[in-house]
Amino acid sequence: MKTVYSDLHGLQDAEAEFIRGKRVPSFEGPRRAELVLARVKEAFGLESVLERREFGLQPLLEVHDERMVSFLSDFWPRWSEENGAVDAFPNAWPPPRAHRRQTQRIGAELGRFCVDMSSPLMEGTWRAVSAGADVALTAQALVSAGDRAAFALCRPPGHHAGRDYFGGYCFLNNAAIAAQSFIDQGASRVAVLDVDYHHGNGTQDIFYDRGDVLCVSIHADPTKEYPYYLGYADETGEGPGADANCNLPLPWGSDYATYGEALVAGVSRIKQFGAEAVVISLGVDTFESDPISRFKLRSDDFLYLGKTIAKLNLPTVFVMEGGYAVEAIGLNVVNVLSGFENA
């Protein structure tokens, strides 16, 4: 399996995030992708890693609101002129029932689109995240051209970014962008399977009223875990998307016995749906030692996870999402990919 990678991800390098009023070192950083890359090279060979191609803005605009994309691409000069070269966090955001229309203040604009205190914008954010989208699109193009599967080593992750909002370390929804590409190239039905510990709320948001993209997400119960406000089992899609969204929340402490059952259910749902391709939102923060998560998957379990995904027997794009136990992140990702390849 080929891996697509761009070192531009390193331009998104947050010093800190705010958790419950305290400034703490960011859990999401460049070392995550570097360690995955090193392990991928060991497992699949140096020549398995490709640079991204560039796809421009259009694929982003197929899933994101044009106003957010413009905001992200134009942000830094306006912000740094007003505030200096400091990482940008929102300090106010639209209350319920308020407008989200454009203002003349860059700080208020930030509050229109940003939904947490973990996703600072900085000078290199746009270059990093637009390169990340290209990484996903390059992997999708490989699969579209005939590869059974490809791995988009995206960073920062993407699955928490919605149509017109970003947060949860995510800015552009790489998995949604890849899924949309299959549709744009003629597929009638595509699935996204999100195996990150956290609900893929952004992906759900993007496809919620569409019947051509099924979203399946297995994740920690959102009453107890980020993103809290979405990810419940009763969210099944709406309008033409009715019944094309499937959330499988699991309790804290779930091990692979529990997880594997949900995975089999999710995979069978994708088969029933008749998907012609699948995009995997590949987070490995389900790992037992993850510092911000509470599932109990062991490194070997990720082999089974990959093997089960392979049973779909579909063109498959793996897109990197979360995973914060950095010492194990490379092994866990490679185990998923190897489990898939050796199935």
Residues in touch with a second copy (CB under 8 A): 17-23, 82-83, 86-105, 107-108, 111-112, 115-118, 120, 162-165, 167-168, 201, 205, 208, 222-230, 232
Q: How far is the CB of 22 from a second copy (least distance, A)?
A: 7
Beta-carbon contacts of 150 under 8 Å, excluding residues fewer than 6 positions away, are 1, 2, 3, 4, 139, 140, 142, 143, 316, 317, 318
The count of other CB atoms within 10 Å of the CB of residue 342 is: 10
E strands within 261-326?
277-282, 316-320
C-beta closer to a second copy: residue 107 or 260: 107
Residue range at the interface with Zn ion (CB under 5 A); choices 52-60, 130-138, 294-302, 320-328: 320-328
Tokens 């049973």 map to which residue?
A: 311
In Å, how far are 197, 210, 315, 340 from 187, measured between CA atoms? 28, 14, 11, 23
Q: Out of 9, 64, 159, 160, which one is annotated catalytic?
A: 160
Cβ 286 to Zn ion, closest distance in Å?
Answer: 8
Per CB under 5 A, does 202 bind Zn ion?
Answer: no
Pairing of strands 316-320, 277-282: parallel
Site string for Zn ion, 141-180 (x = CB under 5 A): ----------------------------------------
> Cβ contacts of residue 165 below 8 Å, gap of 6+?
68, 113, 114, 115, 202, 205
Chosen from a second copy, Zn ion, none, partner binding at 301 (C-beta under 5 to 8 Å by type): none
Cβ 191 vs Cβ 213: under 8 Å: yes
Helix (H, G, I), strand (E, B) or coil at 112: helix
Q: Which is nearer to a second copy, 134 or 235 (CB)?
A: 235
Query: Per rule CB under 5 A, is residue 322 in the interface with Zn ion?
Result: yes
Among 34, 285, 290, 301, binds Zn ion (CB under 5 A): 285
Determine whether 9 is an active site residue.
no
List the catalytic residues. Answer: 160
